């Protein structure tokens, strides 16, 4: 089953038809406004109300800029919606419990990310412009680019494919349609992760901390799965040469391992607190940049 061919409208109608899903949809919508959009626009209106760390790595500039991928970059939420629709299409009403749980999980991701954003925001130095691209204009208007760590793209799409796979394994582990859907969700997660880097909306250093946070919130998404996912990034040599792809994967894993080691040394700290400590260390040790009040992560 190809996620791209599934109807977004079917996912919306699914949520509207079922009261409990409507409630979860409202919960996700409120969490997105409260935790993602509101803190960014407040920081634009009132500069200096919270610190902002600048995240960058020398390899960021070596990645090609491909503005054609803004459409894919913006599609992360529709991939999640279409996955919910696909699960219902395959399993029917028995899957409603799983779908509700996936919606509850996404709201939880927003809440956890907000516990970081409210205290320390983050941006990158690699952002590019593409004024002729209508999808870029949407990003430019609605995303002030202050919530790079953790990345809600990474949190949502990786949670999506993993939970879809778990649902398939519970409902019908040998079913062809379910297996195809979970495989398609995994491929979509890889493509969108690559896209957020190739449209220059994120640094390589944003990915590892986001995967760390996801793994702490949902322990079943563990280190082994993270290493599998990262190892499959940029497998297409037409996108990135093998040597550059290997270096990119190494940077992602190293940043993940840094937070994992930090967590092992601070067992009483929550995952958002570990990410916050990571950002505060960047602020403490970073260099002053041209933008007042911003500090940069060392390579």
177, exposed or middle or buried, with CB in 10 Å at 0-12, 13-18, 19+? middle
Q: How confident is the model at residue 286, as a pLDDT?
A: 66
pLDDT above 90: percentage of residues in the chain = 80
For 53-111, write each residue's pLDDT tens digit: 999 999 999 999 999 999 999 999 999 999 999 999 999 999 999 999 999 999 999 99
From 44, 28, 199, 55, select the one nearest 114 (Cα to Cα). 28
Cβ atoms 173, 47 nearer than 8 A: no
Does residue 19 carry a pLDDT above 80?
yes
Please check the confidence at residue 28 and state whether its pLDDT lies above 60. Answer: yes
pLDDT value at 130 more than 80: no
Q: CA 193 to CA 207: how far, in whole Å?
A: 8
Q: What residues pair up with 124 in beta bridges, in sequence order?
A: 55
pLDDT at 297: 52
pLDDT tens-digit series, residues 209-256: 999 999 999 999 999 999 999 999 999 988 899 999 999 999 999 999
**Global pTM exceeds 0.85:** yes
């Amino acid at each position: 089953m190809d996620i791209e061919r599934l109807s977004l409208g079917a996912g919306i109608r699914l949520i509207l038809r079922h009261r409990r899903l409507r409630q979860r949809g409202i919960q996700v919508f409120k969490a997105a406004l409260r935790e993602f959009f509101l803190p960014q626009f407040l920081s634009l209106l009132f500069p200096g109300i919270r610190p902002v760390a600048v995240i960058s790595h020398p390899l960021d500039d070596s990645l090609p800029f491909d503005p054609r991928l803004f459409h894919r970059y913006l599609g992360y939420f529709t991939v999640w919606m279409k996955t919910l629709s696909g699960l219902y299409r395959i399993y029917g009403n028995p899957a409603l419990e799983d779908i509700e749980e996936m919606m509850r999980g996404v709201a939880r991701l927003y809440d956890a990310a907000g516990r970081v954003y409210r205290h320390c925001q983050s941006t990158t130095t690699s952002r590019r412009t593409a004024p002729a691209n209508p999808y870029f204009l949407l990003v430019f208007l609605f995303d002030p680019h202050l919530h790079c760590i953790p990345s809600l793209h990474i949190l949502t799409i990786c949670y999506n494919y993993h939970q879809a796979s778990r649902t398939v394994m519970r409902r019908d582990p040998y079913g062809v349609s379910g297996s195809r859907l979970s495989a398609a969700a995994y491929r979509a997660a890889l493509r969108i992760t690559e896209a957020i880097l190739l449209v220059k909306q994120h640094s390589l250093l944003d990915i590892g901390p986001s995967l760390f946070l996801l793994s702490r919130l949902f322990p079943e998404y563990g280190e082994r799965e993270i290493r599998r996912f990262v190892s499959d990034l940029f497998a297409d040599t037409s996108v990135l040469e093998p040597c550059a792809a290997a270096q990119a994967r190494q940077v992602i894993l190293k940043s993940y391992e840094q937070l994992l080691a930090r967590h092992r040394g601070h067992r009483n700290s929550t995952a958002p607190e570990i990410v916050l400590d990571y950002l505060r260390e960047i602020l403490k040790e970073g260099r002053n940049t041209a933008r007042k009040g911003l500090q940069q992560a060392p390579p």
